[in-house]
Amino acid sequence: MKCALVTGGSRGIGRAVCIRMAELGYHVVINYKGNQAAAEETLAAVRAKGADGELLQFNVGDAEEVQRVLGGWVEGNKEKYIEVLVNNAGVREDVLMFWMNVDQWRNVLGPSLDGFYYVTKQVLNGMLLKRYGRIINMVSLSGLKGTPGQVNYSAAKAGIIGATKALAQEVAKRGITVNAVAPGFIRTDMTAELNEKELSAQVPMSRFGTPEEVAEAVAFFASKGASYVTGEVLSINGGLYS
Ligand code: NAP
């Protein structure tokens, strides 16, 4: 059974990606950190597309938990194979560097950068053995241009961009592609408290994007047709920056 694992699949962009993966016919493994009710809603949406899926709760930034829960899942589900991995889970904790304490640095770097490492390590071996796989990392405009007030978040996302390009070259011969998607302002819980009207004025398209618009790009990278595209970062930002 071919599976797509989406970290942070309970809400926002991750949920839209789960639904898109269901449309592509994947059995969707929906990771989330704590919001079980939202994760159940995603699963219902996946099933409404005629596909199936399951929930897998773990904190991507916790090495032991990823090993125990995801590693245990991989070990105990030999008939299932994660063909698509979407490293989407991420958080932001914005503060100017002058005031940023070490916890605010680690709280952001942990789930994003460490999480990429912990989760990908559990899944990569199966892809190498099958000589096929698609890894898509959710980064950000902040990782490309840097955003003031987000030194931690920008560093985490820039780190994943570097990892995307390096890993892409390591595994290219094995039929595995590794790409990244870099959204600008997307309407989700993460951006709920931002002043959308004011910030939209900075965007050439004069609006925030939708999770579905991001999921469409993930679907392209996940497709068989994207077989000669690897190590790329695709901006989805309404023309804000390129
Ligand atoms: P969101 O609405 O805040 O949702 C975050 C998701 O990540 C939730 O499913 C949450 O699970 C999960 N999550 C958070 N920490 C986790 C952890 N440690 N382990 C496992 N799951 C965890 O965020 P979003 O806006 O959809 O963002 C998704 C990704 O896109 C992030 O990587 C973000 O940095 C990136 N991004 C977003 C924007 C934007 O404008 N929204 C722009 C650029 C990049 P629970 O529901 O269980 O809490």
| Confidence grade of residue 179 (pLDDT, cut at 50, 70, 90) | very high
Best residue among 41, 91, 181, 234 to mutate for probing ligand 1, ranked by most atoms within 8 Å of CB: 91
Look up residue 21 and give its two tokens.
């993966």
Residue 124 lies in a domain: yes
What is the mean pLDDT of the segment spanning 154-159?
98
Best residue among 6, 33, 36, 181 to mutate for probing ligand 1, ranked by most atoms within 8 Å of CB: 33
- The rounded mean pLDDT for the chain is 98
At residue 198, what are phi and psi to the nearest 5 degrees? -65, -45
| Confidence grade of residue 51 (pLDDT, cut at 50, 70, 90) | very high
Residue 241 lies in a domain: no
Q: What angle do CA 53, 73, 110 make, to 5 degrees?
A: 95
For residue range 67-84, list pLDDT tens digits in order: 999 999 999 999 999 999
pLDDT at position 152 over 80? yes
For residue range 82-124, list pLDDT tens digits in order: 999 999 999 999 999 999 999 999 999 999 999 999 999 999 9
The number of angstroms, rounded, from the C-alpha of 19 to the middle of its chain's C-alpha atoms is: 14
Assessment of whether the complete model's pTM goes beyond 0.85:
yes
Number of domains in the chain: 1
Percent of the chain, pLDDT > 90? 99
Instruction: Report how far residue 135's alpha carbon sits from residue 73's, in angstroms, rounded to the nearest whole number.
Output: 18
Positions marked active-site: 153
Residue 85 lies in a domain: yes
* Structural domain that includes position 124: 2-235
**Which CATH number fits the domain that encloses residue 33?**
3.40.50.720
Residue 242 lies in a domain: no
Q: What angle do CA 11, 211, 192 make, to 5 degrees?
A: 65
The number of angstroms, rounded, from the C-alpha of 125 to the middle of its chain's C-alpha atoms is: 19
Residue 188 lies in a domain: yes
Ligand 1: list residues with CB < 6 Å. Answer: 7-8, 10-14, 31-35, 38, 59-61, 88-91, 111, 138, 140, 183, 185-186, 188-191
Residue 141 lies in a domain: yes
Buried b vs exposed e over 77-105: b needs ≥16 C-beta within 10 Å?
Answer: eeebbbbbbbbbbbbbeebeeeebeeebb
Going by alpha carbons, the residue nearest to atom 12 of ligand 1 is: 8
Q: How far is the CA of 239 from the centre of ligand 1 (A)?
A: 22
pLDDT reported for residue 132? 98
